[in-house]
Structure 1
Amino acid sequence: MAATRSTGRRERLRAETTAEIKLTALDLMRSGGPDAITLRAIAREMGMTANAIYGYFATRDDLVTALIADVYTALADAVDTAWADSARRAPAERITAWAHAFRDWALTNPEGFRLIYGDPVPGYQAPAGGPAPDAARRVCVGIAALADAARAGTEPAPDESGFTWDDFDPGLLHKVRPAFPDLPPAGVALALRIWGHLHGLITLEVYGHLRAQTFAPDKLFRSELDQLVRTLNLGR
């Protein structure tokens, strides 16, 4: 029994230290950019020896991979929850709910957003398949779901011409087509167009580029969403 308690305590302390290492890495990125994420700098901030921190992450790249996986999964969880919670709503409302969930997450986790969508960590080599393949698939499928909902709620049906499967990366199609086998090539293009509308303003806001232009970035984002819904001929 004592051995079990001791093992459980060690596992708990290891989990707590691992979480602190990750938080410290994001704090360093906040103050010094992606260059600041080094195991030695983290050890110094936490009062650990360099050798001790290597017992948690063998390399800086292992830590970055774990960080990306964590934040990407958190984003996927946030937008998936918004999508599921709006299941009984009209397509326009579901798209709006997903978009607001994405923006809210990005503003709450700006360093995480920058890590997965913005600043590359110099010299970082991602593992084969990417650092967070499941979360990336979930977000891609979520974006395709926006397009699928838009097509279902649009009258008349949107133009389906002009795009072929050859216009898209096979990796993207491998994620999207099994989830939405009836989505045509133009539907994938629509998903990317919707993504561009949402991602553009959020990126400007996270990086602070709107501060000198507007005191109401939330109003600007809502206006962009309203315009997007109108462009898609979706009812509110």
Structure 2
Amino acid sequence: MTSTHRTRTPRERYRDQTRAEIKQIAVSQLAAGGVEGVALLRIAKEIGMSGPALYRYFASRDDLLTELVVDAYQAVAADIRAVDIAAGGRTALHALATALRDWAVAQPHLYLLIQGTPVPGFRAPDETVAHAREVLGPFLAVFAEGRPSGSVEPLVDEFARWLRDDTAVAAWVEQRTGLSPEEPAAAVALTGAITAWSQLHGTVGLEAAGQFAGMGHRPATLLAAQVDMLADAFQLA
């Protein structure tokens, strides 16, 4: 068998190392001053490179931010995939929610980059949708077991229509659950995953942004209560 592996040249290795160093500095700037603190010229100065030279590695600030967004999604998706959801039900839901929160509070600057206030003028590439779905994928499997209560049935009906109208979403749900779009459980899975995303983003996002400072509760306790309410709404065991 002929191997297709090709050894990278020293030039290619140097380029990859330099790009990684640029991104590392950009993440440090992001942590210190938010998105507004990410400045290519300051990165160039810190790395000992001229501004024009740095543009050979990243064509623009948006180009650099795009890679940081993709890297962040890949990192949180890896943590979510590592969760054991074999137990199913609310146990699995709590485990997924905890993994997401743990990742977010450990690097709030990255969480807010992908889930916080949109960056003026910046449009994330279409590929980020696929990365976001990697984060939500395991939630689909958990909610596929659900039996929606009356309060969420109108929402399930709307998501059932979405499944019928959007072949890409239908394919994603089927890939993650094995359910065809026509099966009622597919709409339940999608409804639960999107509802969980909105609930978790609300609580985790507020914590990551420091909005709970000075309040008389632990964010982890609030999140656990919300997860239980969500599990109750879908009658997860």
Range into which the TM-score falls when normalised by the shorter chain:
0.7 to 0.9
Report which stretch shifted further, 214-223 or 42-51: 214-223
Q: Decide which moves more: 214-223 or 43-52.
A: 214-223
Q: 1:24 to 1:193 in 2, by over 3 A?
A: same
Q: CA deviation at 1:131?
A: 4.3
- Number of positions where the alignment pairs a residue of Structure 1 with one of Structure 2: 221
Distance 2:96 2:169 in 1: 20
Aligned residue for 1:141? 137
What is the deviation of 1:177? 4.2
Q: Is the 8 A contact 1:75 1:105 kept in 2?
A: yes
**In structure 1, how many angstroms separate the alpha carbons of the residues matched to 2:153 and 2:221?**
34
One of 197, 201, 221 as aligned partner of 1:199: 201
- Distance in 2 (CA, whole Å) between partners of 1:204 and 1:211 is 10
The answer for unaligned runs of 5 or more in structure 2 is 1-5
- If the length of structure 1 is used for normalisation, what is the TM-score? 0.79
TM-score (norm 2): 0.79
> 2:22 matched to which residue of 1?
21
Work out whether residues 62 and 122 of structure 2, in 8 Å CA contact, stay in contact via their aligned partners in 1.
yes
Contact 2:192 2:234 in 1 (8 A): no
Distance 1:161 1:224, change over 3 A: closer
Deviates more, 1:55-64 or 1:33-42: 33-42
Q: 1:147, 1:194 within 8 Å by CA — same for their partners in 2?
A: no
Taking the aligned partners of 2:124 and 2:201, their CA distance within structure 1 comes to 23
Determine helix, strand or coil for the equivalent of 2:215: coil
CA RMSD of aligned residues (A): 2.8
Question: Against the structure 1 CA distance between its residues 185 and 104, is the aligned structure 2 distance closer, same or farther, given a 3 Å change threshold?
Answer: same
- Counterpart of 2:110? 112
Aligned to 1:43: 44
% identical equivalent positions: 33
Classify 1:5/1:233 alpha carbon distance in 2 versus 1 (closer, same or farther; 3 Å). Answer: closer
- Which whole-Å deviations, capped at 9, do the CAs of 1:62-105 have from their partners, x for residues lacking one? 211111111111111111111xx232x13221111111111111
Q: Secondary structure at the match of 2:82?
A: helix
1:210 aligns with 2:212: yes
Q: 1:6 Cα shift?
A: 9.7
